[in-house]
């Protein structure tokens, strides 16, 4: 069976899928994590919020750092699978503790972020990831 020219050009796109997922999820995590890490006392305020959800204070620091630093690692494509796994775990906790109580829109966003992170765990960072440059892919 003859292959059409359009399917030939589409077969070169799969490495870009990881790149697109990585950049999208990384940007989203940096965006949401920034306000929990960068402003003065932001991590302390977030840690107190985490305590109000019934979790340990220190977990607020871990969660904020996973979002912000994990997002930066995804943008760079550095230790992509590890960062994506930590983000998926963080978002799973966010789903159970926060999103389940905040309506369908909140649940959909968090589930989408979990799915994106798990996809990156499976396929890696894709094209142009630093993981490939250092042999960690």
pLDDT, position 7: 58
> Would you tell me how many other CB atoms lie within 10 Å of the CB of residue 110?
20
| Closest among 12, 13, 18 to 130, alpha carbons compared | 18
Residue 72 lies in a domain: yes
Quote the number of domains for the chain: 1
CA of residue 40 relative to chain centroid, distance: 24
Residues contacting 132, CB < 8 A, separation 6+: 77, 125
Residue 78 has pLDDT above 90, yes or no: yes
DSSP for 35-91, please give it.
Answer: HHHSSTTHHHHHHHHHHHTTS-HHHHHHHHHHHHHHHHHHHHTSSHHHHHHHHHHHH
* Percent over 70 (pLDDT), the chain: 89
Averaged pLDDT for residues 83-105: 93
pTM: 0.88
Residue 13 lies in a domain: no
How far is 94 from 86, CA to CA, in rounded Å?
12
Whether the Cβ atoms of residue 56 and residue 63 lie closer than 8 Å to each other: no
Which pLDDT tens digit goes with each residue over 20-75?
Answer: 999 999 999 999 999 999 999 999 999 999 999 999 999 999 999 999 999 999 99
Q: Average model confidence (pLDDT) for the chain?
A: 90
Cα separation values, 136 from 26, 42, 67, 97, 125, Å = 18, 33, 22, 34, 10
pLDDT, position 14: 63
Better-scored residue on pLDDT, 16 or 9: 16
Residue 108 lies in a domain: yes
Residue 26 lies in a domain: yes
Residue 12 lies in a domain: no
Range of the domain at 126: 18-134
pLDDT, position 133: 87
* Percent over 90 (pLDDT), the chain: 73
pLDDT, position 73: 98
Categorize the per-residue pLDDT at 1 as very low, low, confident or very high, splitting at 50, 70 and 90. Answer: very low
Categorize the per-residue pLDDT at 4 as very low, low, confident or very high, splitting at 50, 70 and 90. Answer: low
């Amino acid at each position: 069976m003859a292959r059409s020219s359009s399917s030939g050009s589409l077969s070169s796109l799969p490495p870009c899928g990881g790149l697109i997922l990585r950049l999208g999820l990384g940007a989203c995590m940096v965006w949401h994590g920034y306000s929990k890490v960068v402003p003065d006392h932001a991590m302390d305020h977030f840690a107190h919020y985490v305590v109000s959800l019934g979790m340990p204070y220190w977990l607020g620091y871990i969660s904020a750092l996973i979002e912000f630093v994990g997002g930066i690692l995804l943008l760079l494509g550095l230790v992509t699978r590890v960062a994506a796994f930590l983000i998926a775990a963080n978002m799973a906790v966010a789903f159970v503790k926060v999103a389940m109580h905040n309506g369908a829109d909140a649940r959909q966003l968090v589930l989408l972020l979990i799915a994106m992170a798990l996809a990156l765990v499976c396929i890696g960072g894709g094209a142009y990831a630093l993981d490939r440059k250092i042999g960690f892919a």
